[in-house]
Amino acid sequence: MRVLVVTNITPDERVPGRGSFVRDQVEGLRAVGVDAELLSFPVGKRHYAPAVRRIRRRLRAERFDLVHAHYGLAGWCARLAGARPLVVTFHGTDVRHPIVGRLSQRLAKRVDLVAGASLALFGPEGGRPGLPREPGVDAVLPCGADLDRFVPTPRPAARRALGLDPDGRYLLFPAAPARPEKRHDRAVELARAAGAELIALGSAASERMPDWVNAANAVLITSDNEGFGLAAVEALACDVPVLSTPVGIAAPLLAGVAGCLVAPYEAESWAALARRHLDDDDPRVMGRTRATWFSARAMAERVAVAYRALLEEPAHGAGHLS
């Protein structure tokens, strides 16, 4: 099976870690026997028309069994280039954004398989609508975490590698503070209440992320909505505690993991748990086994199943994978 993967979730100098999960999925697909080629183009509206031309040229020059686009606007580029069959994975902002979300709603009616990075994207969250559901033509296809990179390492070693105070009290906010839905303001309030230093990572290189996670006493997901919640999976893979609002996959991922929290944001109760982890020399949770549910390899296998179903039954889509 030969697949062209198209995305504009592409790294650049300003955000070197952007889209690492798409590249991880491509590698995972190759590992499970899918001949996957990646066509990536930069973010920004001036790049859409050139991307349509690039995709069209590639489809005319080579044969692919299907095209898989990541993010709604990349999906529109593939659709306008004539890609068929076309799978589009929506990742969050492309669904919840007040303008781009409407474009994604329209696109969802024009592709062969509508995929959400989590089931949460098919329903409202944070006051924003979700994707339409049509059994037989939709699926839940996350990207997953690279568990070969995200492994528990000693906190002192991680802090030395990053030049951090070995005795520091650190809470990690693994998102860009400028993105309003991530609610950096909540993380700031929580860190102040817990007597901690807040580390915000809007532009960290992907290869350094395991060090940042292992260096933190806990990871904070304070968002109003999440398409998936990869940062929480990566933290659990390192056995690092996670405090999260009930967004994306947080509820099933964190439920029953002692030392983690999934609940609506409330500064006092969140700070009480955060202080416990901050007072511990090297707080850890038993999270890695849970993280394997959402490994990049496991999720790639799931995507390959959806591909096969779509190609075997083109009139009925990939079935209902949720």
Same domain, 128 and 167: no
Instruction: For residue 320, tell me if it sits in a domain.
Output: no
Same domain, 16 and 70: yes
Q: Helices marked H in the chain — which ranges?
A: 20-31, 48-61, 72-80, 93-96, 100-108, 155-162, 184-194, 209-215, 230-237, 250-254, 267-278, 288-291, 296-312
Same domain, 179 and 284: yes
Predicted structure pTM score: 0.84
291-302 core/surface letters (b: 16 or more CB in 10 A; e: else): bbbbbbbbbbbb
Structure confidence at residue 20 (pLDDT): 83
Same domain, 7 and 123: yes
For residue 206, pLDDT beyond 80: no
d(CA 66, CA 50): 21
Stated length of the chain: 322
Higher pLDDT, 45 or 18: 45
For residue 314, pLDDT beyond 80: no
Confidence of residue 302 (pLDDT cuts 50, 70, 90): very high
- Are 71 and 91 within 8 A, CB to CB? yes
Strand 261-262 versus strand 35-40 pairing type: unpaired
Tokens of 166: 């070995």
Name the phi and psi angles at 71, rounded to 5: 90, 140
Same domain, 138 and 167: no
**Is omega for the bond preceding 85 within 30 degrees of 0, making it cis?**
yes
Same domain, 165 and 106: no
Tokens of 161: 């590698």
For residues 225-250, average pLDDT: 94
- Are 144 and 295 within 8 A, CB to CB? yes
Same domain, 78 and 175: no
Instruction: For residue 321, tell me if it sits in a domain.
Output: no
Count of domains in the chain?
2
Higher pLDDT, 133 or 275: 275
Same domain, 160 and 108: no
Higher pLDDT, 63 or 16: 63
Higher pLDDT, 120 or 212: 212
Instruction: For residue 322, tell me if it sits in a domain.
Output: no
Confidence of residue 242 (pLDDT cuts 50, 70, 90): very high
CA 129, 315, 322, 306 dihedral sign is negative
d(CA 6, CA 18): 15
d(CA 239, CA 216): 11
Confidence of residue 127 (pLDDT cuts 50, 70, 90): confident
d(CA 87, CA 305): 13
For residue 135, pLDDT beyond 90: no
Instruction: For residue 150, tell me if it sits in a domain.
Output: no
Element (H, E) at 197: strand 197-200
Instruction: For residue 72, tell me if it sits in a domain.
Output: yes
Name the phi and psi angles at 263, rounded to 5: -165, 160
- Are 273 and 243 within 8 A, CB to CB? yes
Per-residue pLDDT tens digits for 28-43: 999 999 999 999 999 8
Same domain, 139 and 227: no
Same domain, 6 and 137: yes
Instruction: For residue 247, tell me if it sits in a domain.
Output: yes
Same domain, 196 and 257: yes
Instruction: For residue 226, tell me if it sits in a domain.
Output: yes
Domain CATH number, residue 300? 3.40.50.2000
Structure confidence at residue 318 (pLDDT): 46
The percentage of residues in the chain with a pLDDT greater than 70, rounded to a whole number, is 93
For residues 176-183, average pLDDT: 91
Alpha carbon of residue 84 to chain centroid: 25
Same domain, 305 and 271: no
Mean pLDDT, all residues of the chain: 91
What residue has token string 């492309």?
Answer: 94
d(CA 282, CA 195): 17
The percentage of residues in the chain with a pLDDT greater than 90, rounded to a whole number, is 75
- The domain containing residue 305 runs over which residues? 2-144+295-312
Instruction: For residue 280, tell me if it sits in a domain.
Output: yes
Tokens of 303: 């995507």
User: For residue 218, which of 239, 245, 192 has the smallest C-alpha distance?
Assistant: 239
